[in-house]
């Protein structure tokens, strides 16, 4: 398929449906990742940084890394509970 | 962009699939956030306790039950 051709006419480039789908997939994946990141930031800040000090303590850092792991795990548990239940 | 290139059955199918996926993703995301707040009350440990796991599962399933109940109630 000559999706990105048409150099001579100067018309706007034609995208094939396949190009569009690839582009959409990429952007959707980015959007999902960003949203997830934002949620995890909120939840783990709430749990682990209860009293912000002058720097991030070691226990806060390890709490954050456990929190991230547990949040990912929780997402899996919820997904399974909803879609392969009982 | 040439709009006629958008008249593609595959593209339409793809978009419908992605819509579906987005709905599922959103649902899981929202429920995870809500159930996390309800079930994970202490600081996160290196492993979920069995009661935390059970709480998360129950939380998601009861939410679905509730949604059904609300629909029924509002249809009366």
**Residue A4 within a domain:** no
pLDDT > 50? residue B54: yes
Task: Give chain A's domain count.
Answer: 1
Q: Is residue A5 part of a domain?
A: no
Query: How many C-beta neighbours within 10 Å does residue A25 have?
Result: 12
C-alpha span between A35 and A72 (Å, rounded) = 13
pTM, to two decimals: 0.82
How many residue pairs from chains A and B have C-beta atoms closer than 8 A? Answer: 97
Owning domain of residue A43: 17-84
- Whole-number pLDDT of residue B2: 55
Over residues A41-53, the pLDDT tens digits come to: 999 999 999 999 9
The Cα B39–Cα B66 span in angstroms is 18
Q: How far apart are CA B27 and CA A9, in angstroms?
A: 47
Q: How far is CA A12 from CA A27, B5, B7, B11, B43, in A?
A: 22, 13, 18, 20, 55
Contact B44, A70 (CB under 8 A): yes
Residue A2: inside a domain: no
**pLDDT mean over A6-18:** 61
CA distance A5 to chain B (A): 13
Query: What average pLDDT does the structure give for chain A?
Result: 86
Q: Please compute the mean of the pLDDT values over residues B14-22 and round it to a whole number.
A: 93
The alpha carbon of residue B8 is apart from the nearest alpha carbon of chain A, in Å, by 7
Helix axes B9-39, B50-75, angle to 10 degrees: 120
- Considering the domain boundaries, does residue A67 fall inside one? yes
A61 pLDDT above the threshold of 80: yes
8 Å CB contact of A78 and B18: no
Q: Which two tokens stand for residue A35?
A: 């949203």
Residue A8 lies in a domain: no
Q: What is the DSSP letter of B67?
A: H
Whether A73 contacts chain B with CB within 8 A: yes
* Distance in Å, alpha carbon of A6 to nearest chain B alpha carbon: 12
- A62: domain CATH number is 1.10.287.810
> Residue A57: CA atoms inside 13 Å, Cβ hemisphere, count?
10
With the C-alpha atoms ordered B28, B34, B39, B42, is the resulting torsion angle positive or negative?
positive
Considering the domain boundaries, does residue A7 fall inside one? no
Nearest CA in chain B to A68: B44
């Amino acid at each position: 398929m000559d999706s990105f051709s048409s150099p001579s006419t100067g018309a706007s480039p034609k995208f094939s449906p396949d190009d569009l789908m690839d582009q959409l997939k990429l952007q959707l994946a980015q959007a999902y990742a960003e949203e997830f990141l934002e949620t995890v930031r909120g939840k783990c800040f709430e749990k682990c940084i209860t009293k912000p000090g002058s720097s991030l303590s070691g226990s806060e850092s390890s709490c954050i890394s456990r929190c991230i792991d547990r949040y990912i795990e929780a997402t899996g548990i919820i997904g399974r509970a909803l879609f392969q239940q009982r | 962009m040439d709009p006629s290139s958008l008249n593609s059955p595959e593209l339409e199918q793809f978009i419908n699939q992605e819509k579906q996926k987005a709905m599922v993703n959103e649902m899981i995301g929202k429920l995870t956030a809500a159930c996390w707040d309800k079930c994970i009350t202490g600081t996160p440990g290196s492993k979920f306790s069995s009661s935390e796991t059970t709480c998360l599962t129950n939380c998601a399933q009861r939410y679905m039950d509730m949604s059904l109940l609300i629909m029924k109630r509002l249809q009366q």
